Amino acid sequence: MPKLDSYLFREFAQTTFAALVVLMIVSLGAVFADVLSDIVRGRVPAGMMLAQLGLQVLNYLPLILPLGLMLGLLLSVGRLYRDSEMPVITSIGVGPRRMLRPLMLLVVPFVLMIGACSLWLGPWARQYSQQMIEAGQRTLLVAGLEAGRFVELPGGGGVVYANAMSNDGTYLGRVFIYRQDEGRMDITSARTGTLNLEGTTRYLKLDEGFRVEGPMDGGKDFRLMRYASNEVRLPDAESRDLDNDPELMSTPALLSDDRPEASAQLHFRLAPPLLALAFALLAVPLARSPPRQARWGRIILGLLAYVFGINLMLLGSNGLANGKLPTALGLWWLVLPLLAFGAWMYFGDGRMKRSRKART
C-alpha cells in the first residue's frame, strides 16, 4: 500500500474508532435506561438485565455504526484541512478519485458489518431477547426473588418474602406477601407457592395460608381469611408471536412473506448499509473548510443530514407497513437519490461546476 494511502487510512480509522467509542458509551446509557424502565414495569425479569442490555445494543448497531462512520470521517478530514495537510495533498494531484482507495478500505468493511448487523445479528438479538423474556416469565428465580430476602414484586405489585426456593425457581416455601392499594393493606402468608402462566397473565398460586386485609389509617375494618388455595396476579407477561411478527422473523423468511408489514421490515433492514455508504461519501465534501475556519458547523450539518435521513427511513417504513406507500417503491425513493447525491458531492468535492460563460 502506498504511504499516502496508508497514512490516510490510519487517520480515518483512528478517528472513526474514537467516535464509535463515544457513541457506544452514550448509546449504552440510553439503552440501559430503556431496559431499566421495562424491569420496573415488570415486563423484563430483573435477573436478565445484563443479557437484555447486550442484546438491545446489538439491535441498535445498524443505527449507531453509520453515525460513527460519518462523524469519524468528518473529524478526520476536517483535521486534515485545519492543519493544512489537505491543500498540500491536493497540490500534488491527489483528488477525490485518488482518495477513494483509502476511503473505501475503511468504508467497505463498515458497510458489510452494518449489513450483517441489520440483516442477521439485529433480528437474531430481538428474537433471542423475546425468547429469554418469555422463558424467564415462567420462573420466579429470574424475577429477582431469592430465598430469605424481601424482594419487591415485578411492576411494584408488593413485597414478597420466601423462606425456601427450588433450584429452578418455580417453587416457594413459607411465603409472605405485603401489598397496599388505595389506603388499604393486604398481608398474605402461605405454606407453599408456585407460578402459573395463562397466556400473558401470570398468577402466583399460594396454598395453605392466611390473608389479612384492612385499612392503613388505624381503622377496625379488618378481614381475616384462611384459605386452602389463593392466587396473586402479577403484571401481565409480554408475549409476541415469534413466527409471524416481522420484527422477530429472519431475513430469508421476510423474502417469502407478502404482507406489507414484512415488506416494510425487509426494506428497513436493507436501508442502513446503503445509507451508511451515502453518508460516508457525503462526509468528505462536507468536511472541506479553510485552514482557520471552525469545523463544528460542518459536523452539525452532517448530524442534521443523518437525523433527517434516519427519520425519513422510519417514516417510510411506517408508511409501507400501513399501506400508505406502494410495496414496490419500498425505501428506494430515499436510498438511491441519497447515494447519487453523495457520489455527486464526493466526486465534485462539494463544488458546483461553473458555466462556460463564467469561465471566459
Tens digit of pLDDT for each residue in 41-87? 667 776 788 888 999 999 999 999 999 999 999 988 888 888 777 77
pLDDT level of residue 200 (50, 70, 90 thresholds): low
pLDDT level of residue 240 (50, 70, 90 thresholds): low
pLDDT of residue 312: 93
Q: Are 64 and 273 in contact (CB under 8 A)?
A: no
Of residues 353 and 199, more confidently modeled: 199
pLDDT of residue 360: 41
Look-up of cell digits 411494584: 156
pLDDT of residue 106: 92
Kindly state the average pLDDT of the residues 332-360: 72
pLDDT of residue 112: 95
Question: Is pLDDT of 20 > 90?
Answer: yes
For the ranges 105-109, 132-136, 285-289, 309-313, which has the lowest average pLDDT?
Answer: 132-136
pLDDT of residue 181: 76
- The predicted-structure confidence for 297-307, as pLDDT tens digits, reads as follows 778 888 899 99
For the ranges 133-137, 175-179, 306-310, 323-327, which has the lowest average pLDDT?
Answer: 133-137
pLDDT of residue 113: 95
Kindly state the average pLDDT of the residues 9-28: 91
pTM of the predicted structure, to 2 decimals: 0.74
Enumerate residues 6+ apart whose C-beta is below 8 A from 343: 281
pLDDT level of residue 277 (50, 70, 90 thresholds): very high
pLDDT of residue 357: 44
Question: Is pLDDT of 93 > 80?
Answer: no
Question: Is pLDDT of 211 > 80?
Answer: yes
For the ranges 190-204, 303-317, 326-340, which has the lowest average pLDDT?
Answer: 190-204
pLDDT of residue 353: 45
Of residues 356 and 286, more confidently modeled: 286
Question: Is pLDDT of 332 > 50?
Answer: yes
pLDDT of residue 243: 65
Kindly state the average pLDDT of the residues 341-354: 70
- The predicted-structure confidence for 125-171, as pLDDT tens digits, reads as follows 988 888 887 776 665 544 556 678 887 765 556 788 888 887 766 78
pLDDT level of residue 354 (50, 70, 90 thresholds): very low
Mean pLDDT of the chain: 82
Question: Is pLDDT of 11 > 80?
Answer: yes
